[in-house]
Amino acid sequence: MTKNKPLNIYFFFVIMSVFPLIDFLNGLFISFNVSLPLGTAYRFFCVIYLVACILHAGLRKNFYTLISISFIVGALMLLFLQAIVLQNSMTFLFADLAVFTKFFLWVLIAYFVYQRKEIFLTMNYSKIFLVVSILFTLEMLIPYFLNMGNQSYVNSNAGYKSFFFASNDLTIAFMINATFVGWYFIKALEKKAFFQTLALVVLYLGIIVTLILISTKTGILYGILFTVGILIHFLLFQKNFKPIYRLVIFIIAVVVLIGLVTAGWDFIISATSGMVDRITYFYRLYNGNLIRLLTSSRSDYMVAGYELFANNRNNFLIPLIGFGFEYRSINFERYGLIEMDPVDGLYALGLIGVVLTTVMLGYFFFVSLKKQNRSIYTIAFMVLMFYSISAGHVMFSALSSTMLGLVCGGILLQKYKHSSANEEEAVSKEVKQSEYINGWTKI
C-alpha cells in the first residue's frame, strides 16, 4: 500500500469538502446583488484541475475508461452539432458549455478517484461526506437563527434555503447527508464510542431540522423513513448489543423522539405551514388531481415539452441530438426545464445523449448492486437516481453533480476494496502452500 500520499490527493479532499462553503458564499453574493460568479469559477477550476490530473496520470485501457471518454466526447460533439443545426450564437454555445461543465463534473470526480484507488483505499474516503454534512448544516441553521437568508419561493413563506440557490438541490444534498451521517451513527454504535455517537446524533438531528426548514415533500418524507429505518436496523441487526439492551434502547429512542417532536411541535408547524398552504392551494387549483400535485405540474410540462421536441417542423436531427439547454430556455420558456433529469436529458441531448448517459449511469448501477460491492454508497446512489428521475436537479446541477461524483467514486473504491482483499487472500494461500511444501519461504 502507498504510504506517501501525493499532494493532489489532499488537494482533492480540500476542494471537494469546501464546495458547500463556495455555494453558500455564491448565494450570499447573489442575495446582496454582488456580481461575482464564485460558484461558476470554482466549478470551472475543479473541471480543469481534474482533467489535468487525469491526463497526467494516464488513461487505463479498459471498459470503464471507454464509456467515460465516450460520454464526454459524445456530449461535446452533440453540443457542436446543435450549434450548427440550430445556428446557435456564441452566447448560446458558452451558456450550454457552462451546463456541460456541471454535467461532466461527476464523471471526472469518479475517474480521478478510480485512477488513484490504491491510495484512496488507504484513507477514510467517506469522511468527506461528514465534513460536507457539517458545513451544510451550519450554513443552514446559523443564518436561520440569526433571522437571515431567503425563502424557497418568492412572495411565499414556504420553505427556507438560507443563502443557497435552489431548494431542490438542497433537498437531495441533505438527503445524502442524512444517509451518510446515519450510517456513521450506526458504525459509532457498533464501536460503542459514546462521545462520537452523541456528536453524530446532534448532527443528524440538525440535518432533520434542516429538512423540515427546506420543507419539500420528498425531503421530509425521506427524513422520516430513514430515521425509522435506522431504529429498525438497530433493533433487528445490531448484534453488538444483547437483544434486551437493543429493545430497551429502541424504546428509549422512540420516547425521546416523540418528546422532541412534542417539544418542537410549534417550530415544526411554523416551518411547514407555508408548505401545507402551498399544497392546499395547488390541490384546489388542480381540482384534486393528485398526479399534477405530486409531480408539481411536471407531468404537464413533460407533455408540452414533448410536443415541442417532436414537432414535425423540427430538423430531422433534433430527436437524435436534442435542442441543448439555452435554446430551450429562451425559446420554450417554462417548458424549457421540466425538472426531471431523464426527460430534460432527452429534450436537451436527444436519443444519443440519453444512451450515453444511461450507459454511464448503468455501469455504476450494476457495479454498486453486486453482492460484494453493496454498501452505503449503493443506497446513496439509488437515492440520487430516484431524485434525479422524480425531481431533477442532479445531473445538471453543480451541487448535486458533485455529490453524485463523490458517491460514484465510493462505489468504485468499494469494488476495488474487495478485489484487493481477494488478491491478498490468494497470495496468502500461495505463501501457506509454499511453506507447507518447502518448509520455509522468503517474501
Q: How is residue 83 written as a grid cell?
A: 450549434
Interval 222-279: pLDDT, tens: 999 999 999 998 888 887 788 888 888 889 888 988 998 888 888 888 888 878 887 8
Q: Please state, in angstroms and as integers, the Cα–Cα distance from residue 345 to each residue in 75, 124, 160, 256, 357, following that order.
A: 11, 34, 28, 45, 9
Q: How far is CA 158 from CA 154, 216, 265, in A?
A: 9, 9, 17
At a CB cut-off of 8 Å and minimum separation 6, what does 208 contact?
Answer: 178, 223, 227
pLDDT band at 6 (very low <50, low <70, confident <90, very high): confident
Q: Place 365 in a pLDDT band, splitting at 50, 70 and 90.
A: very high
d(C-alpha 85, C-alpha 81), whole Å: 6
Q: Are 240 and 186 in contact (CB under 8 A)?
A: no
Give me the pLDDT at residue 420, please. Answer: 58
pLDDT of 433 strictly over 50:
no
State percent of the chain over pLDDT 90: 59
Q: What confidence score (pLDDT) does residue 439 get? A: 46
User: What is the Cα–Cα distance from 425 to 443, expressed in whole angstroms?
Assistant: 15
C-alpha cell at 266: 410549534
Q: How much of the chain, in percent, has pLDDT values that exceed 70? A: 93
Q: What is the mean pLDDT of residues 53-77?
A: 96
- Confidence bin at 155 (pLDDT 50/70/90): low
Distance CA 205, CA 136 (A): 13
The pLDDT tens digits of the residues spanning 276-291 come to 887 887 778 778 788 8
For residue 304, pLDDT beyond 50: yes
DSSP per-residue letters across 255-322: HHHHHHHHHTHHHHHHHHHHHHHHHHHHHHHTTT-HHHHHTTTHHHHHHHHHHHHT-TTS-TTHHHH-
The distance of Cα 272 from the centroid of its chain, to the nearest Å, equals: 24
Can you state the angle between helices 398-438 and 376-390, rounded to 10 degrees? 150
Structure confidence at residue 315 (pLDDT):
87
Specify burial of residue 420 (Cβ count, 10 A radius: 0-12, 13-18, 19+): middle
Under the banding of pLDDT at 50, 70 and 90, the label for residue 3 is low
Q: Which helix (H) or strand (E) segment is 162 a member of?
A: strand 160-162
pLDDT reported for residue 2:
44
Q: Per-residue confidence at 421, pLDDT binned at 50, 70, 90? A: low
Using an 8 Å Cβ cutoff, are 268 and 212 in contact?
yes
The pLDDT assigned to 30 comes to 87
d(CA 69, CA 77): 12
pTM of the predicted model as reported, rounded to 2 decimal places: 0.90
CA–CA dist 207, 220 (Å, integer): 11
pLDDT confidence of residue 277: 80
Mean pLDDT over 218-223 rounds to 93
Which of 70-79, 181-190, 344-353, 420-429 comes out lowest in average pLDDT?
A: 420-429
